[in-house]
Chain A
Amino acid sequence: MFGTLLRFRLRRDRTQLIVWALALFFMMYAVVADVQETFPTAADRAATLKVMLVTPAILMFRGTPQGASEGAFTATLGLAFMALLAGMMSTFLVVRHTRAEEERGQAETIAATAAGRLAPSLAVIAEGVLANVMATVVIALGCLAGGLPAAGSWLLAAGCGVTGLSFVGVALVFAQLMPTSRSANGWSAALVVVAYFVRGIGDAAGEVHDASLSLTPAWPSWLSPIGWAQLAFPFAQNRVWPLPIGAAFFVVLVGVALLVQDRRDVGAGVIAERRGRIGASVVLRGPFGLAARLERGTLIGWIVALVALSTLVGDLSGVVVDQLASAGPGVADAINRIGGEQGTVLQAFANLGAVFSGLLAAAICVQGAMRLRQEEAVGLADAALAAAVGRTRWMLSYLIVAAIGAVVALVLGGLVSGSLAGAQAGGFSAWFGGIVWQTPGVLVFLGITALTFAVLPQATMAVGWVVFAAAGFLGMFGPLLGVPEWAQKLSPLVHAPAVALPHPDYTGGWVMAVLAVALCAAAVLLFRRRDTRPVG
């Protein structure tokens, strides 16, 4: 039974697993190769590390410096990010086969066969383990392909795999607790991000060893699965013993999940679904009210995330000012590369914060436009369109709700980090303007996803997330790793005027604004001409 289920699952997930494997391999390889190209000598790397070690805000987003060797430097820049990806992969994989299958009634079909009550969960756990073994192998191959030492490569990759495994456990538990796959996915994915920032706090507050250009992370790192992967210090001390912590964490969570599974009804969550209203409120009146209602939870989540990020960045600006006062000369050049373009270190830091805010807001737009396809696929677009709702009005409702969500998130984020950043850190307007000027680029993501929905509806999810991931990769590593300028320009976010820097160029912003409007308009016109295509 177990074997049959596992084979069946692997077969269903074949394409997704291959895509993940390729993505993880190439991302890892790209980081290694770009490090070699941009920082060819130990002196280059040492200069950059000196800056990072005195700039906790940058450590927060990057990793734990462990010396200037090529491998250790690569781990500092890329390990936390790769581990985050493994965590996301595990989360989506587990929820897809547990809570989502229960929601669709597939779990009930299987439960009615001779398969034992725990067999489906065991098959998912086995698949999760296999997927993370796969992740470990491809990430290690990515390092080895770039010519890094074998021991460190495998240790770095195993750290990512163990992080993934930890989140297999986390997602399993949330799949037991939550009544819907949306909430299970939301909570587990949020915890992956929390794990990233908890280790970030550990790194930012760590103890610096100037002589060895290394850092001993503070205690918060010990609370994060991504932190455990970093604490192995691959390519430096190469210690294996922090990794079993993640494995033990996985085993404990699996035990909890199986205990709950064995005691509850198929289809029910531990946290029961609340009852709803007997009638609709005044808000739920037209397609706009409906879109707002459906997106409410997701939007609030993203807005809170963006405001939290802005609080952090704004708050850290003071620290940056203090620390830079004590930093030596020659540091500015390196940090410019980390933040992008020219200007003071602080301005570069403000710019970095703005790019991150832009990415979060872009996710709001991608997800908001994807809602169109999700509604269409299950036949809910038809339900609205078969009532007296025109196609233009229906589609624009979802696009406008997403756009408003993104703008509100950016404005709130700008207000928060602007108020927190002191006058010496560039003042309110630089920070606020920098974040709010992300809006045009962010809306381009809305346009691209909407246009895909209108032309190739089946590809909406894939195109949306690929475009987002590519922009995320460019935003995260582009300026730092010397990605060619033409390639960096492919990301809509790059064109935002760098308000925090001297002489910002606003042309790019306006071009993006026009492009976003044109894409959305084309999407609406094309959607008006096609049949709706529910699945099945």
Chain B
Amino acid sequence: MNAIISARGLHKHFGRVHALDGLDLEVAPGEVHGYLGPNGAGKSTTIRILLGLARKTAGEVTVFGRDPWREASELHRRIATIPGDVALWPNLSGGETIDLLVRLRGGDTRSADYKRTRAALIEEFQFDPSKKARSYSKGNRQKVALIAAFAHPAELYVLDEPTSGLDPLMETVFTRQIARVAADGATVLLSSHILSEVERLCTRVSILRAGRVVESGTLTELRHLTRTSFSFDKNGLTDAALAGIPDAHDLAESQGRVSFTVDSDRVASVLTALGALGVTGLQVAPPSLEELFLRHYGDELQPEPQGA
């Protein structure tokens, strides 16, 4: 199985700033791959390199097994993309822009297939194609890029924060479109910082921090690496009894409830212990992507060092 996108030890320097600092990324065929990281982590830089807009400083990178810088325009016939900041030609109408972008990708805008898909998308996204681009709001500009990306089939979709500016209704339309192209066998690289969106759509996730991928895997695999959180009513249990719970970390009490976390592979033994204590109001929460994310970034939110 050959990876659709493969980067090894990828570096990109802008003067002294190391936007990418030895990045490894692997995206397999048919995968909807979430690419997570806060602003400035290097998501857009990676995407600019994958699209041949920026040149790597060092390392290896291939798209469909080929060099994205040298063979940019041939590769782009197989790729649909949505940029992080959608820029439109102010004096072209939305409809003209959609047709133009598809034609620039080598698409045939006269085919019945295209016309049907385009009309359906315009309907679904409730979009007015006759207005000049300069008068579109942020959400409408995003719709132009989305419709242009989905109106003509591609083998790879590279989407940089594609739902920014969309209302929740339009987000569900977007989700449907991702499901549709994924069902057709396309590969998707979805950069985002909206965790619920990634959790809902993606089969695999890479988490980016300061120009490196710090975690990569399926959501189940990643969850495995983190702790499940427990909480229950204290109901007069003594501290000694609580101390007897095996493998409990970060034990704390607040408003009459006890909470702690447990490594995900030790959950069964903790449940037995809690059963013996006869606790009430028990809540067990698997780690959310948000916690995964915070595990890698939590130190930025809390500058003071925590007792390990």
Q: How far is the CA of A393 from the CA of B72 in the complex (A)?
A: 12
Residues 120-150 of chain B: 1 if any A CB is under 8 Å from the residue's CB, otherwise 0? 0000000001111011000000000000000
Q: How large is the interface on B (under 10, 10 to 19, 20 to 34, 35 or more residues)?
A: 35 or more
Q: Indicate whether B192 reaches chain A with its CB closer than 8 angstroms.
A: no
| Among A134-142, A384-392, A498-506, the stretch in contact with B | A384-392
On whether A284 and B130 interact (CB within 8 A), knowing A382-B53, A388-B73, A389-B104, the answer reads no
Given contact pairs A273-B132, A277-B93, A388-B74, enumerate 18 new A-B contacts (beta carbons under 8 Å): A273-B135, A276-B94, A276-B131, A278-B95, A279-B99, A284-B92, A284-B96, A285-B103, A290-B89, A294-B91, A379-B85, A383-B87, A388-B76, A390-B72, A530-B55, A531-B53, A531-B54, A532-B48
Q: How far is the CA of A293 from the CA of B90 in the complex (A)?
A: 12
Question: Which chain A residues numbered 281 to 309 have a C-beta less than 8 Å away from chain B?
Answer: 281, 284-287, 290, 293-294
A389–B73 contact, CB under 8 A? yes
- The closest CB in chain B to the CB of A384 belongs to B104
Using Cβ atoms and an 8 Å threshold, which residues of chain B touch A287? 104
Q: Indicate whether A456 reaches chain B with its CB closer than 8 angstroms.
A: no
On whether A278 and B104 interact (CB within 8 A), knowing A294-B91, A386-B53, A386-B76, the answer reads no
Question: Which chain A residues numbered 254 to 284 have a C-beta less than 8 Å away from chain B?
Answer: 273-281, 284
Q: How far is the CA of A393 from the CA of B53 in the complex (A)?
A: 15
Using Cβ atoms and an 8 Å threshold, which residues of chain B touch A417? none
A390–B73 contact, CB under 8 A? yes
Question: Which chain B residues numbered 79 to 130 have a C-beta less than 8 Å away from chain A?
Answer: 79, 81, 83, 85, 87-101, 103-106, 109, 129-130
Residues 44-88 of chain B: 1 if any A CB is under 8 Å from the residue's CB, otherwise 0? 000010011111000000000000000011101101010101011
Q: How far is the CA of A275 from the CA of B91 in the complex (A)?
A: 10
Identify 14 residue pairs between A and B in the complex whose beta-carbon atoms are under 8 Å apart, listed by A's number: A275-B93, A276-B132, A277-B95, A278-B129, A279-B96, A280-B96, A287-B104, A294-B89, A382-B51, A383-B88, A386-B81, A387-B101, A388-B104, A532-B54
Using Cβ atoms and an 8 Å threshold, which residues of chain B touch A280? 92, 95-100, 103, 109
- The closest CB in chain A to the CB of B110 belongs to A282
- The closest CB in chain A to the CB of B47 belongs to A386
Q: How far is the CA of A384 from the CA of B79 in the complex (A)?
A: 13
Q: How large is the interface on A (under 10, 10 to 19, 20 to 34, 35 or more residues)?
A: 35 or more
Q: How far is the CA of A103 from the CA of B100 in the complex (A)?
A: 23
Residues of B within 8 A of A (CB): 48, 51-55, 72-74, 76-77, 79, 81, 83, 85, 87-101, 103-106, 109, 129-132, 134-135
Q: Max chain B CB contacts within 10 Å: which of A276, A285, A391, A530?
A: A276
Residues of A within 8 A of B (CB): 103, 180, 273-281, 284-287, 290, 293-294, 378-380, 382-391, 393, 529-532, 534, 536
On whether A386 and B99 interact (CB within 8 A), knowing A103-B134, A180-B134, A275-B130, the answer reads no
Of the residues A273, A294, A389, A531, contact of B134 by C-beta under 8 Å: A273
- The closest CB in chain A to the CB of B106 belongs to A388
Using Cβ atoms and an 8 Å threshold, which residues of chain A touch B85? 379, 534, 536
B53–A278 contact, CB under 8 A? no
Using Cβ atoms and an 8 Å threshold, which residues of chain B touch A393? 73
Q: Max chain B CB contacts within 10 Å: which of A103, A278, A290, A391?
A: A278
- The closest CB in chain A to the CB of B99 belongs to A280
